[in-house]
A and B are shown apart, each in its own frame.
Chain A
Amino acid sequence: MALSGLFLVVFLGQHFTINLASVVSKDSFNELSHFMGNNPLVQFILQPILIFGVVFHFVMGFILELQNRSARANKYGSYKGSANASWMSRNMILSGVVVLSFLGLHFYDFWVPEMNYKYIEVLPEDPTRYYEELVHKFVSPVRVGLYVVSFFFLALHLLHGFGSSFQSMGLNNKYTPAIKTFTKIFAIAIPAGFVFIALFHHFNAL
């Protein structure tokens, strides 16, 4: 879980960098998206690894949740979880399910049309199409609302999960306070950045 989680965190940072380019420069975003969508290394090696990482992370998450629930078959009449642990750490499965649902929407919005464009309909490649496709998706206020809610839950998931992955890998030493601070900043800044990008394109298109 820790390793796949850290791998997904690295991917998230890379995804954010490319998305941020859409706010700065239309041409840069098109160029980067065209590279990511057509480079054989990205398409046929990194993309399958990423999909495996995502599937592994949520399947393991569900398996661990089931094992943990069965480890306490009889529930407490009174259980004060908030007295000793954060809401985020106690509800990783809830935030994870929201993020997973968002991934379904995200794949439906971007990945499925992209696969259809390139490999099913085999349309002629247009390196300038990506920016317009992105902006078009953020016209709908409902979709933007779902993005905002999803990234709020992603932030909650990262607030516990990112720092926790270092502890799971055996790293708890004098650098731990610095790691915790960095992971908190990352967990808030990156989802907030994604929300900013969605809102920027939504209001820009009005």
Chain B
Amino acid sequence: MNLTLKVWRQANTTTKGNFETYSIEDVSPDMSFLEMMDVLNEELIQKGIDPIAFDHDCREGICGMCSMFINGEAHGPDRLVTTCQLHMRKFKDGDTIIIEPFRAKAFPVVKDLAVDRSAFDRVQHAGGFISVNTSGNTQDANAIPIEKHDADRAFDAATCIGCGACVATCKNASAMLFVSAKVSQYALLPQGKVEATDRVLNMVKQMDEEGFGNCTNTGACEVECPKGISLENIARMNREYLTASIKG
């Protein structure tokens, strides 16, 4: 396949970026999107052009590092995949592909397509954990009976890889799906109930401080999430928040 790529180039956080157009030839339909970007970067290096910076790590949809906004959608046109799992067979010969970084005030561009998603880390640090005494007589988590249905829903919430596609795709740049997944994975389990009040209040407070937008229930986040995190988690977090606010 021969393709035209319009790629966002930006030297650093403070400079203004712009789209640059590149042509790439003989792209195999079996390549992953990131492999195609690797080939493009090799060509740019050979021409003496600064290669395009983009995040990647595991390249198997687990780490949540890849973060491209492709043709108007987070992680591209396919569903339930990250950018690294997207294949070039999803495009046609002669296509023009527009590649941008995830855009949100809380995700400043570091360079080109790489963005700083440490806002998610700070939200997680605000309460996305349970406190366990590890002095030597810690109870085995498997010794606590948990209803299968709750365990399954907690696991589903925990599959969130924190890639930020929910923020990138939401018209309000809201992080509600991510935060609600992290709240839910503990709220559903007995180990998480002990600190449930502080957890949801602190995580929502941190989310607001980071400058994410508000949830207006468009549902775009659920559609674009590579792990299929459900909107049920947002409703659960809203319940948790309401209960925690009343308790103080």
Residues on A close to B: CB < 8 A?
64, 67-68, 70-81, 83-86, 89-90, 92, 160, 164, 167-173
Interface pair A86/B211, CB less than 8 Å apart: no
Interface pair B71/A80, CB less than 8 Å apart: yes
Residues of B with C-beta under 8 A to A67: 213-214
Given that A86-B218, A168-B238 are contacting pairs, would A78 and B104 also be in contact in the complex, using a CB cutoff of 8 Å? Answer: no
Residues of B with C-beta under 8 A to A73: 105
Interface pair B220/A164, CB less than 8 Å apart: no
Interface pair A171/B235, CB less than 8 Å apart: yes
| Interface size bracket, B side | 35 or more
B90 vs chain A, min Cβ distance (A): 13
The 7 closest A-B pairs by CB, nearest first: A80-B72, A71-B213, A172-B235, A170-B239, A68-B172, A84-B223, A85-B218
B28 adjacent to chain A (CB < 8 Å):
no
Given that A84-B220, A167-B231 are contacting pairs, would A72 and B104 also be in contact in the complex, using a CB cutoff of 8 Å? Answer: yes
A63 vs chain B, min Cβ distance (A): 9
> Out of A71, A76, A85, A172, which one reaches B223, CB within 8 Å?
A85
Interface pair A68/B72, CB less than 8 Å apart: no
Residues of A with C-beta under 8 A to B231: 167, 172
How many A-B residue pairs have C-beta atoms within 8 angstroms? Tell me. Answer: 104
B222 vs chain A, min Cβ distance (A): 8
One digit per residue, 1 when the CB lies within 8 angstroms of any chain A CB and 0 when it does not, for chain B 1-44 equals: 00000101000000000010000000000000000000000000
Interface of chain A, main secondary structure = loop
A142 vs chain B, min Cβ distance (A): 33
Interface pair B100/A172, CB less than 8 Å apart: no
Given that A84-B73, A84-B224 are contacting pairs, would A77 and B98 also be in contact in the complex, using a CB cutoff of 8 Å? Answer: yes
- Known pairs A67-B214, A71-B212, A160-B217 / 13 extra A-B pairs, C-beta < 8 Å: A68-B213, A68-B216, A71-B106, A71-B173, A71-B211, A78-B71, A78-B100, A79-B72, A83-B73, A84-B224, A85-B171, A86-B218, A170-B238
Residues of A with C-beta under 8 A to B103: 72, 74-76
Residue of A nearest to B208 (CB): A67
Residues of A with C-beta under 8 A to B239: 170
